[in-house]
Structure 1
């Protein structure tokens, strides 16, 4: 291999750093107009009166769309297992089609104007009167009303082995602990934005989406046009992390507005509008109970969670996912419960479930280690399973946690610490060290590609996948270069356009493996075609073969864009997915080591050092992969120390809907982050790739909490770890 494994620069680095890359809100069309949303101010009820006269009088305003004059819109499609695209709707609400209000912040009107300033000014002048209905918006107060989540193959409600509660009661050493995490909101650098253009019944949309193909399917269904009439372009997306996975009101209403006035419309959400119309991470209440013998062997592991969904949508969070696989407990019980609230539905946020679930589980393991007087790494290794613990049958396709702990402990200097809490100090700073396991499931999705080899030696790879800053086009060029044996510089990749062959969504960390598998398959077909051609015409080398055959290029395709071809593609995914789920547990994993310094007087906490070691299978590009890992760790530090969406328990209104009040880490908060990879291919995954987009945010919260305990002697079981909890 001459390209795979090399730390090559991103192929889109130049256009992004020079400002030549155009994002969703940077496309101009003749007659372009601008839209702004008007939000409801109640959590549940009906609009009795809408005052829009002042808004319509603002110079430059074209119209104000409300439920009284908006064009018809088809309802959101209901999810079906055999069509994952139908899980794509952020809510089940049919926007501006009735007077009903379902959450505080729901769009109740759209102002369209000649300028964005006029649209915003007018939107602030729209006033609504309501008939209010009692709503349930307080998550903590609704805990007693939690119900087992509905069971389905994608979001199972839980699992069990043996009688964990009885084993817990009989165990020589037990812990029964409660952990909580708050809601979190998405804060991608690029705001959610849509530019929508109708040409008859043909629709072009520029959008900041991480699910181009599913996005197109959804728009076609909502607006009653053939899917082939919709083109979605998203070649550059300025961060997403799950917030741009689903279809939220802003996009639908931008398209609706463009249809209503017969002109192009651009809608860019304000930061506050993102909070009020784009779902975030659910809060959680978690119970982790552990039973063990005196040697640290786990006899019982109980992990249950309560999360929330909205009354009009949202997905159950797989908070206990990792707890089925990480430890060889003799008896296990994991369960997910949910409460439905009159709030904006929750959605996926980087490592949904595992990001907050590992906080509770890995904190509890550390507490058990302290109770037993066993080193936290040693306790974990004593309970390392040989096969999947929950069923005792499925094998791990790839599991190298022992190697990750060994390497990480050496790089971090773990065994040089004094294990006693509050025993290490540097002047006014209490110094602590913590460790936790990182874990995230791996999967693949269908991907269609074409690969074209031209007589001049150049290669063109085409696939409608997403590039959100992770270097996706770069790694696919590396894969194609090695599959064909050509220089990396000879490969060009086209992506980010629904007119290209169908790409997978960038959610769940499947994109590199999924597209890479199809790229390799297409390259193999190309080589077979060229071999047959060479037998007829002679010549050695691709260029010579094509010149002798007088053929300008040769192309290979994987997948089909026809309706039957797409159905076959879903079958191509679902059949092996179901079969392999019966045989293997696939996951990316790793180890997080954290050093903190806590001011003994004020409780100010600083993360001073970080080491992460990850097993993500084969690493295609160590430069882009390390950037992914560091980004996830930074996001995890926000989860651990700062991020918290504050919701008024009386009204359901988000009280801190901006970066002025919702705190995320800045440069000064981040220490040097040492990232290493084991770089060992998973033999059951395409090219040995496991997927590294999300695993590095998992375990971070627990590593920080465990380090804070080591520094201060205080356990914080409720995130975020703010100084008031340490004083």
Structure 2
């Protein structure tokens, strides 16, 4: 049983999703759908000011309404034991801040902040009663206007603790200024809201005075378990978190939000299970969003297109009570070979709720600015945008000065360019038209994201009937995690996939990290590989441990098609017969897997390129995306179908980012005016053409046993730039503030 035999996905064909039938038939059960006896319903009432104090709260009508069990506010909320630790952000907190502590005081810090929770015996009664609550406020000055307050931006406290500014410098600061060819441009990303189909939801059930079960929409089972345990000061093992299915998240379920604590609190207070589902309007203010971000990218190059300097300045929005930071400047540090790079990242506190990570967190925003600037530089140099990137290809990681674990970005450029017909275009802006008179443009963008791997544990049980159950406390927000894990296990065990069940979505299973950051397959897949190898070793020891076969070494055994054999055929036995011979009803194993010293020797990243063809109406400025080719360098692809779906989904998200998505703030009131699906536009089927998802599909030799790197983030990172660059090629107009709406083109 040699190491190279453990994994051979080349022989595995793409599988349909193991949970596909459950999902399309409606049998899959999401967090708000569990049939809990004596269930009650919670509805949040929210503030109608952006800053100030609650002077009075009239809840009498709500309390007297039919079916109401409780109205909870800061006046009567049970004390959350964990809230007593640390400073309260509402009482003289520093800019470091902390998460909102719901119903802990009378301070209002943003419009739509929860001020009360109604619990009733039906949803409709809870909604009616919540509408009967009225508040009187002592209003305070507030600021939600990013542009009007940008001078107040400052470095994050964490960065200032590292050095005086938190800036990154490699080589000479602002070296671009000395270059013969320069680009200086400012770019804006508006606030963008996750808006998955499934609303944020939770059902909280207290099983005992110190024991609670929550059915929660979360990407982090262990994270939610720890947060709830800390807040209510109960043992973590007494908190069970269930998230069997998650209907999209994009990052907004990576942390435990105040509404979740409120539901657990309410269930404790009323002594019955409480279901709380955040409504669509509240999704804009209670569960994070991509923050409004201003960027300035300055590039300097020689006349033949070699980069001399990159300067990247960023100011990102955060809340007035909690710092949020993300990796907006990250790509500028390593994506292109450049001796002189300096970046600056500041945050601007405003009277808004706290942002959070959104797919391609920070890097998606940063790559838009960087790759649009690269496109501008290419046109100024009269150089093909691909050629400019090839001349500045980073053969090693310039930030860490380490070799890449693997990198096939050049192959991505070549494959995607050929597929979309890049070299057949006329490179001159506004030079191409379709037969129906539309302006035609081609654009491209590059994406990259860290290929992470952390620690995870998996358990397996083989039953005497030849079925296998694997458990791990990971979640699945849509990429097909269970399917990939079944494929991995099938390949390692050499048994049919339909004999394997992968169970996830429960915090009582062996530990796993959050599903986020494009690291789940790498991390959990490594644990699944390890536990399957462990099971094979146990089977080998049992098979080689008696009779004439006792002299056979387990390492010399071959596993194939559910059988164990030796070269001399003294052993030729099925896995199930091994258990029968030893009178074992089952065989178990549990293994942890984590990254090793290779993380210090190599730089691990996934890469992508996106090519887009757009048609723009010359009179109205309407933009239609006609073709998309996305090519990913993500190591060995475990499942072409599910990975392809991720790339398509990311491309759609990038098109929405480029052309549609924007949460619009009315700064007179500090309130979003398009906080609904009618006015906040996201791509629909009519907006999206065929998307050609392509993979280089070559193993990374160092990252994990499968050789697989993450796909989720790179499927979006760089896409918005590709669309914007295509629009410029079509129209000759450079739009640097997203989204690119018709009014900006006419």
TM-score by length of 2: 0.91
State how far apart, in whole Å, the 2-side matches of 1:238 and 1:91 are: 28
1:372 aligns with 381
The 1:486/1:496 distance shift into structure 2, 3 A limit, reads same
2:241 aligns with 232
* 1:650 and 2:668 matched: yes
The 1:267/1:210 distance shift into structure 2, 3 A limit, reads same
- Gaps of at least 5 residues in structure 1 are 80-88, 560-568
Per-residue CA deviation, residues 351-391 of structure 1 (Å, 9 max, x unaligned), is 11111111100000000000010000000000001212235
Post-superposition offset of 1:78? 8.6
* 1:498 and 2:507 matched: yes
Contact 1:191 1:271 in 2 (8 A): yes
State how far apart, in whole Å, the 2-side matches of 1:702 and 1:412 are: 17
Per-residue CA deviation, residues 116-165 of structure 1 (Å, 9 max, x unaligned), is 01111111111111112222222111211111223469999442211141
Contact 2:252 2:356 in 1 (8 A): yes
Contact 1:75 1:94 in 2 (8 A): no
Post-superposition offset of 1:94? 1.8
1:718 aligns with 737
Contact 1:438 1:695 in 2 (8 A): yes
2:568 aligns with none
Post-superposition offset of 1:278? 1.2
State how far apart, in whole Å, the 1-side matches of 2:669 and 2:98 are: 20
State how far apart, in whole Å, the 2-side matches of 1:432 and 1:270 are: 40
TM superposition outliers: structure 1 runs of 4+ over 6 Å: 153-156
1:14 aligns with 21
State how far apart, in whole Å, the 1-side matches of 2:688 and 2:272 are: 46
Post-superposition offset of 1:74? 3.1
Q: Structure 1 stretch 495-504 or stretch 644-653: which is displaced more?
A: 644-653
Which of these residues, 78, 90, 93, is aligned with residue 71 of structure 1?
A: 78
The 1:314/1:116 distance shift into structure 2, 3 A limit, reads farther
State how far apart, in whole Å, the 1-side matches of 2:85 and 2:404 are: 34
1:59 aligns with 66
SS in 2 for 1:366: helix
Which of these residues, 728, 733, 737, is aligned with residue 709 of structure 1?
A: 728
Post-superposition offset of 1:174? 0.5
The 1:409/1:517 distance shift into structure 2, 3 A limit, reads same
Per-residue CA deviation, residues 624-656 of structure 1 (Å, 9 max, x unaligned), is 000000001001111000000111223321221
Per-residue CA deviation, residues 301-340 of structure 1 (Å, 9 max, x unaligned), is 1111110211222421211111111111121112211111
TM-score by length of 1: 0.94
State how far apart, in whole Å, the 2-side matches of 1:471 and 1:174 are: 45
Q: Structure 1 stretch 343-352 or stretch 304-313: which is displaced more?
A: 304-313
* 1:543 and 2:561 matched: no
Per-residue CA deviation, residues 633-691 of structure 1 (Å, 9 max, x unaligned), is 00111100000011122332122111111100010000110010001111121111111
* 1:196 and 2:180 matched: no
SS in 1 for 2:674: coil
1:472 aligns with 481
1:693 aligns with 712
Contact 1:90 1:345 in 2 (8 A): no
Which of these residues, 141, 146, 152, is aligned with residue 134 of structure 1?
A: 141
Which of these residues, 165, 172, 181, is aligned with residue 163 of structure 1?
A: 172
1:83 aligns with none
Q: Structure 1 stretch 283-292 or stretch 532-541: which is displaced more?
A: 532-541
The 1:214/1:71 distance shift into structure 2, 3 A limit, reads same
The 1:629/1:147 distance shift into structure 2, 3 A limit, reads same
Post-superposition offset of 1:583? 3.0
Post-superposition offset of 1:470? 1.1
Matched residues, number:
701
Contact 2:12 2:491 in 1 (8 A): no
1:107 aligns with 114
SS in 2 for 1:121: helix
2:337 aligns with 328
Post-superposition offset of 1:196? 0.8
SS in 1 for 2:267: helix
Post-superposition offset of 1:580? 5.0
1:596 aligns with 614
1:520 aligns with 529
Contact 2:223 2:256 in 1 (8 A): no
SS in 2 for 1:418: coil
2:153 aligns with 146
Post-superposition offset of 1:95? 1.1
1:372-451 mapped onto 2 (5 Å cutoff): 372-391=381-400, 393-426=401-434, 427-451=436-460
